[in-house]
Amino acid sequence: MSSQVRNEILSKIKSAQRNDPLPRPQLPFLSERALDREQMLERFTAELTSQTGTVYRAKDRKDAERVLSEIAAAEGFKQVIAVGKNLQGIDIKSFGNSNGITVRTLADLKDREALRKAAFAADAGITSADFAIAETGTLGIIFSKDQPRLASIAPPVHIAIVSIEKLYPVYEDAVKQVFGNVNEIPSQFAFITGPSATADIQAISFKGMHGPTKVIVIFIMGQ
Amino acid sequence: MKVSLFIPCTVDLMMPEIGVAVYRILSHLDTRPVYHSGQTCCGQPLYNAGYRDQAKRAARHFIKVFGDDEYIVSPSGSCVSTVKQHYAELLADEPSWCDRARNISKRMYELSQFIVDVLGITDVGASFEGKVTYHESCHIFRALGISEQPRKLIASVRGAELVELGNATACCGFGGEFSTGFPEISEAMVKAKAVNFINTGADVLLLNEPGCLLNISGYLHRNHPQKRSMHLATFLAENTREFSHA
Amino acid sequence: MHNRVDKFKETARAEMKNELSQAFLLMLSLGAPIMRQIGMSSFPDPAAAEAYGRAIRTESIERLPELLEEFKKNAQAKGAKVIWARDSAEAKASVLDIAKKRGINYITKGKSMVTEEIGLNEHLISNGVDVFETDLGEVITQMLSRAPFHIVGPALNVPPEEISAVFLKRGVIKQPTVNPVELGKAVREYMREKFRYLDMGIVGVNMAVAETGTIINVENEGNIRMNKSSPRTLVAIMSIEKVVPTMADALHMVRILSRNCTGQKLTGYVSMDTGPKKSDEMDGPEELFIIIVDNGRSEIYRDIKVREILKCIRCGACLNACPIYAKIGGYPYGFSYSGPMGQILNPMLLGIEHTSDLFRACTLCGACKKICPAGIDHPSIILEYRARQIKDRKHQTLSARFENNLATCSSLAMSSSMLWNLAVKTVRPLFNSLAEDGYIRDMPFGAKGWFSCRNLRAMPDKTFHEIWKKLNLPNPDDVRKKETL
Ligand code: SF4
**Per-residue burial over B44-76, b = 16 or more CB atoms within 10 Å of its CB, e = otherwise:** bbbbbbbbbbbbbbbbbbbbbbbbebebbbbbb
CB C335 within 8 A of CB C1: yes
Test C323 with B189 for CB contact under 8 angstroms. yes
Distance B72 CA to ligand 1 centre (A): 36
Q: At what angle do helices C8-17 and C19-40 cross, to 10 degrees?
A: 90
- Let me know whether B105 and B153 are in one domain: no
**Cβ atoms of C211 and C272 closer than 8 Å:** no
pLDDT digits (tens, 9 = 90+) for B189-231: 999 999 999 999 999 999 999 999 999 999 999 999 999 999 9
Question: What's the rounded mean pLDDT across residues C376-399?
Answer: 90
CA C68 – CA A10 distance, rounded (Å): 8
pLDDT at C402: 84
B212 is a domain residue:
yes
**Is C12's CB within 8 Å of B2's CB?**
no
Do B93 and B128 belong together in one domain? Answer: no
| A188 close to C (CB below 8 A) | yes
Nearest to C313 by CA among C131, C28, C53, C82: C53
Q: Does any domain span residue A1? A: no
pLDDT tier for residue C485 given thresholds of 50, 70 and 90 = very low
Q: Taking 90 as the threshold, does the pLDDT of residue C108 lie above it?
A: yes
For residue C198, the model assigns a pLDDT of 98
Specify the residue with its C-alpha closest to ligand 1, atom 2. C372
Considering all CA atoms of chain B, what is the largest pairwise distance in Å, rounded to the nearest integer?
53
Alpha carbon distance B190, C76 (integer Å): 55
Radius of gyration of the CA atoms of chain B, in A: 18
**B77 and B139, same domain (yes or no):** no
- Scan residues 236-295 of C and list those with Cβ closer than 8 Å to A: 240, 247-248, 251-252, 254, 265-278, 280-284, 292, 294
Number of domains in chain B: 2
Q: Which atom of ligand 1 is nearest to the CA of C344?
A: 1
Distance CA C311, CA C376 (A): 7
Whole-number Å distance, alpha carbon A205 to ligand 1 midpoint, is 24
DSSP 3-state helix, strand, coil percentages of chain A (rounded to 5)? 40, 25, 35
SS3 label, residue C157:
coil
d(CA B112, CA B77): 10
pLDDT classification of C5: cutoffs 50, 70, 90: confident
Q: Which of B51, B82, B116 is the last residue of a domain?
A: B116
A210 belongs to a structural domain = yes
Are C427 and C379 in contact by the 8 Å Cβ rule? The answer is no
Would residue A14 count as lying in a domain? no
| Chain A contact partners (≥3 CB pairs within 8 A) | C
In this prediction, residue C84 carries a pLDDT of 98
- Cβ neighbours around C47 below 10 Å, total: 10
Q: Are strands B158-163 and B127-134 parallel, antiparallel or unpaired?
A: parallel
B130 and B109 in a common domain: no
pLDDT classification of C158: cutoffs 50, 70, 90: very high
| Ramachandran bin of C82, using left for φ above 0, alpha for ψ from -120 to 50, beta for the remaining angles | beta
Integer angstrom CA distances of residue C254 from A161, B59, B163: 26, 44, 39
Residues B128 and B208 in one domain: yes
DSSP character at residue C480: H
Cross-chain residue pair C386–B16, CB shorter than 8 Å: no
Among C13, C391, C463, beta carbon nearest to B13: C463
C338 alpha carbon – ligand 1 mean position (Å): 11
Residue of C63, C160, C247 with shortest CB distance to A201: C160
How confident is the model over C233-255, as a mean pLDDT? 98
pLDDT of residue C396: 76
* Domain enclosing residue A124, as ranges: 36-194+204-220
Mean pLDDT of chain B: 95
For A181-186, which contacts have Cβ atoms below 8 Å and span 24 or more sequence positions? A182/C212, A185/C78, A185/C212, A185/C214, A185/C274, A185/C275, A186/A142, A186/A143, A186/A144, A186/C274, A186/C278
Closest to C233 in 3D by CA, of C191, C199, C282, C205: C199
Nearest-CA residue of chain C relative to A3? Answer: C84
At residue B243, the pLDDT reads 62
Same structural domain, B84 and B174: no
Average pLDDT over residues C94-103: 98
3-state secondary structure of B9: helix
Q: Give yes or no for a contact between A149 and C283, defined as CB atoms under 8 angstroms apart.
A: yes
B129: domain range? 123-238
- State the pLDDT at residue C473: 63
DSSP string of C225-255, one letter each residue:
HHHHHS-SEEEEEEEGGGEES-HHHHHHHHH
- pLDDT exceeds 70 at position C183: yes
The number of distinct structural domains making up chain A is 1
Residues B204 and B162 in one domain: yes
Give kind and range of the element (H or E) at residue A141.
strand A138-143
Which residue in B133, B121, B123, B124 sits closest to B24, CA to CA? B124
C349: which residues sit within 8 A by CB, 6+ positions away?
A: C117, C295, C296, C335
Tell me how far CA of residue A178 lies from CA of A190, B17, B226, C42, C112, in angstroms. Answer: 11, 69, 68, 26, 27
Do the domain assignments include residue A97? yes
Quick: pLDDT tens for B42-67.
Answer: 999 999 999 999 999 999 999 999 99
pLDDT in tens, A121-135: 999 999 999 999 999
Q: How does pLDDT run across A33-73, given as a tens digit for each residue? A: 999 999 999 999 999 999 999 999 999 999 999 999 999 99
CB contact under 8 A, C229 and A206: no
> How much is the pLDDT for A223?
64
Q: A18 CA distance to ligand 1 centroid (A)? A: 23
Instruction: Report the amino acid identity of residue A134.
Output: A
Residue A24 lies in a domain: no
The mean pLDDT value for C294-317 works out to 97
Closest by CA to B47, choosing from C400, C379, C354, is C379
Q: Which residues contact C98 (CB under 8 A, 6 or more apart)?
A: C104, C200, C233, C235, C289
Q: Which structural domains are found in chain C, ordered by start?
A: 5-299 (3.40.50.10420), 416-484 (no CATH)
CA distance C424 to C462: 10
Residue nearest ligand 1's atom 7 by CA: C312
Q: What is the pTM of this model?
A: 0.95
| Residue C443, pLDDT score | 85
Average pLDDT score over residue span B75-95: 97
On the CB side of B163, how many CA atoms lie within 13 Å of its CA?
Answer: 14
DSSP bridge partners of B205: B133, B229
CATH number of the domain to which B228 belongs: 3.40.50.11810
Which of B65, B89, B116 lies at the terminal end of a domain, its last residue?
Answer: B116
Query: Three-class SS of residue B39?
Result: coil
Does residue B16 belong to any structural domain of this protein?
A: yes
Give the residue from B54, B87, B116 where a domain finishes.
B116
Could you give the CA distance from residue C139 to residue C154 in angstroms, rounded to a whole number? 9
Scan residues 308-327 of C and list those with Cβ closer than 8 Å to B: 323-324, 327
> Which of C218, C256, C318, C337 most suits a substitution to test ligand 1, by most atoms within 8 Å of the C-beta?
C318
Residue B130 CB contacts under 8 Å (≥ 6 apart), including other chains: B159, B160, B161, B202, B203, B204
Residue C471 sits at the chain B interface (C-beta within 8 Å): yes
Strands A124-128 and C456-457: unpaired
CB within 8 A of C17, min separation 6: which ones?
Answer: none
Gap between the terminal Cα atoms of chain C:
56
**Predicted pLDDT at C380:** 97
Q: Which residues of A touch C187 (CB under 8 A)?
A: 209
In a domain, B202, yes or no: yes
* ipTM surpasses 0.95: yes
Question: Mean of the pLDDT values across residues C41-52?
Answer: 96
Q: Which residues 350-369 of chain C have a CB within 8 Å of chain B?
A: 360-367, 369
> pLDDT for A161-213, tens place per residue?
999 999 999 999 999 999 999 999 999 999 999 999 999 999 999 999 999 99
Adjacent-strand bridge partners of C201: C108, C234
Convert the pLDDT of each residue in C448-483 to its tens digit.
899 999 999 999 999 999 999 887 665 544 443 433
Q: Give the residues surrounding ligand 1 with Cβ less than 6 Å away.
A: C 260, 312-318, 340-341, 371-374, 376
Q: Which amino acid belongs to residue C250?
A: A
Residues B109 and B133 in one domain: no
Q: Is residue B244 part of a domain?
A: no
- Tens digits of residue pLDDT in B104-153: 999 999 999 999 999 999 999 999 999 999 999 999 999 999 999 999 99
Predicted confidence (pLDDT) per residue in B146-163, tens digit? 999 999 999 999 999 999
Report yes or no on B51 lying in a domain: yes
Q: Let me know if residue A147 belongs to a domain.
A: yes
User: Could you tell me if B18 and B98 lie in one domain?
Assistant: yes
We report the CATH number of the domain holding residue A82 as 3.40.50.10420
Q: How many residues does chain C have?
A: 485
* Interhelix angle B16-28/C464-471, nearest 10 degrees: 40
Average pLDDT, chain C: 93
Of B58, B61, B181, the CB nearest to C449: B181
Q: Assess C406–B contact: CB distance below 8 Å, yes or no.
A: no
Q: Concatenate the DSSP letters of all residues of A49-82 into one string.
A: HHTT-EEEEESSHHHHHHHHHHHHHHHT-SEEEE
* Structural contact between residues A83 and A142, judged by C-beta atoms closer than 8 angstroms: no
